Copies of this chain bind each other. A is one copy, B any other.
């Protein structure tokens, strides 16, 4: 997605070889017009798939999921909540998610009322890095007996392997900007 890549190059800030900060337009301050374009593009890529629900995880995924849902005919958005591992109850689906940057393990949870076997679920998130969050959400979909249509990421950091892991599991991934590497403060997109 050209506009997005241009924006990442213009306003993204590289930290070392692993991190690109996009907090001026994606996950702290939000450019709503850009998000609208992003949502439209996800709807184009997953058109004809009869997606019935968008699943994301708090916090930054929520904006992306809601702006996208409009372009899928206002289907419901469900956002998984992050909690400490010891607070699971029977009314919730839950999956562990490891954070490589923070070195912690949390649990993402969704109420059983909001994911059903009839659902055709699209997972959306801001980043696809090591893939832990997406794999956790896919596990929630599996627990619900729902169908996983695919995973859409605004930015995939290919060098962290999450996309590869998910594709090897047979999951369809659509990433709007794929970063191959970050070197000497320069972002290299996959051609």
Q: Which residues of A contact B (CB under 8 A)?
A: 23-24, 28-33, 35-36, 58-60, 62-63, 65-67, 69-70, 74-79, 81, 110-111, 113-114
Contacts and interface: CB of A to CB of B under 8 A. Distances in A.
Given A66-B66, A70-B36, A111-B23, A28 B59 contact: no
A79 B66 contact: no
A76 B114 contact: no
A22 to B, nearest CB: 13
Given A23-B111, A28-B79, A32-B76, 20 more contacts: A28-B114, A29-B76, A29-B78, A29-B114, A30-B69, A30-B77, A30-B79, A31-B76, A32-B66, A32-B69, A32-B75, A36-B74, A58-B59, A59-B62, A59-B81, A62-B62, A62-B66, A63-B63, A63-B66, A66-B67
A145 to B, nearest CB: 17
Contacts of A66: 30, 32, 35, 62-63, 66-67
Given A24-B113, A58-B58, A30 B76 contact: yes
A120 to B, nearest CB: 16
Nearest to A69: B32
Contacts of A23: 111
